[in-house]
Structure 1
Amino acid sequence: MTQAPTFDSLFRNCQRSAVHLEMRDGYMRSDPAFIDWAAGKAIDPAERWRGWLDIVKEATGRGVSVRRARIVSEPVSDYIRFEHSVTDGLNINAGEEVGWLPRQQATELALPGNDFWVFDDKAVLVNHFDGDGDSLEHEYTEDPQLASFLSSAFEKVWDKAVPHAQYRLV
């Protein structure tokens, strides 16, 4: 395994594209933003995730296409409701495109076992989580076969996904 560059440097050095596939129905349930949202408190993405907004806005401002696809079970989990509620203010506001694919429509797709990012179709950051959705580690590689497989898997999901503006929670 190659020493991983920082996530920020992957974004700052990417030239064309950054794609992210999320396949879990819950992440970091101990996240203070999720806890506040679940308690009915208003969430201001610009306040909570300023660093994320800045780095993605900088990339999209350079012409980098940033896309995120989420495969979700329906009816959706509370965590997915939370993600959906902050997507406009966070992801879309930063310049990302976001698509949602109901899990029942993903059956025919060959998918990897983990969430991932692929930068410029070559740099891969695989995300490993524990059973509660907390991040364990990131695995970095520039293996061309893996990058090709993951890019292809992402595109197949993206082709079937519902754009964020049209996706309605079930």
Structure 2
Amino acid sequence: MPQNAQPSFAELLASTAHSAVHLELRDGYGDNPRLQAWRRGGRIDWNDRVSWWRDFHEQIAQAVHRGVTVRRARIVSEPVSEYIRWEHYVTHANVEAGEEVRWLPRRLATDLLLPPNDYWLFDDRVARIHHFAGDGSHVEDELCSDPGLLKQLASAFEAVWERAVPHASYTV
């Protein structure tokens, strides 16, 4: 399903009542202006919320306020890539929005059966599966409501979550 397929991420999250989980499996997701600024030494003034708070953070914060638990787990190679060092730095915004974030070194995931693609899972009822090109650029998203696959995705996420290190304790 193309990236602009309906429902959007915002609509999926707005219709979520209990749980939204996100599993990330890549060590890089392409280049972007914020990463480029970080490379040049630019740092975020975390006290100036207006400068870094985005619509995404507001959507997460609203969901958390409604009682939705939002969790994100990232499987990363170590030593971490430049992209992951930057992502670890900007994760402060996710945490401020209300996400719980954990990191799992890839070497500790060898015995886990994991899907090859990143995904969001909303209330175990629908998954938004992300497809990326080899260079990390986003190609498209696919929506899935197959009960068997949803069960596998939920199980994979929980296995990672159980082993992963909370953001505040994970250093890069």
Q: TM-score, normalised by structure 2?
A: 0.93
The secondary structure found in structure 1 opposite 2:143 is strand
In structure 2, C-alpha distance between the alignment counterparts of 1:20 and 1:4, rounded to whole Å = 19
**Coordinate RMSD, CA, aligned:** 1.5
In structure 2, C-alpha distance between the alignment counterparts of 1:106 and 1:49, rounded to whole Å = 32
What do the CA deviations read for 1:53-74 (whole angstroms, capped 9, x no partner)? 1000000000100000000000
Runs of 5+ in structure 1 lacking a partner? Answer: none
Out of 37-46 and 132-141, give the one that drifted further. 37-46
Over the matched positions of the two proteins, sequence identity in percent amounts to 53
Q: How many residues align?
A: 167
User: After the TM superposition, which segments of 4 or more aligned residues of structure 1 sit over 4 Å from their partners?
Assistant: none
2:152 paired residue number: 149
Return the match for 2:20 from 13, 18, 32: 18
> What are the residue-to-residue correspondences of 1:118-137 with 2, within 5 Å?
118-137=121-140
The code of the aligned residue for 2:71 comes to R
**CA 1:32–1:49 in structure 2 vs 1: closer, same or farther (change >3 Å)?**
farther
In structure 1, C-alpha distance between the alignment counterparts of 2:142 and 2:169, rounded to whole Å = 33
Runs of 5+ in structure 2 lacking a partner? Answer: none
1:82 matches 2:86: yes
What do the CA deviations read for 1:85-132 (whole angstroms, capped 9, x no partner)? 0111x1100000000000000000000010000000111000000111
> What are the residue-to-residue correspondences of 1:18-37 with 2, within 5 Å?
18-29=20-31, 31-37=32-38
Task: Kindly state the Cα deviation for residue 44 of structure 1 after the two structures are TM-superposed.
Answer: 5.0
In structure 2, C-alpha distance between the alignment counterparts of 1:49 and 1:146, rounded to whole Å = 34
> What are the residue-to-residue correspondences of 1:79-118 with 2, within 5 Å?
79-88=83-92, 90-118=93-121
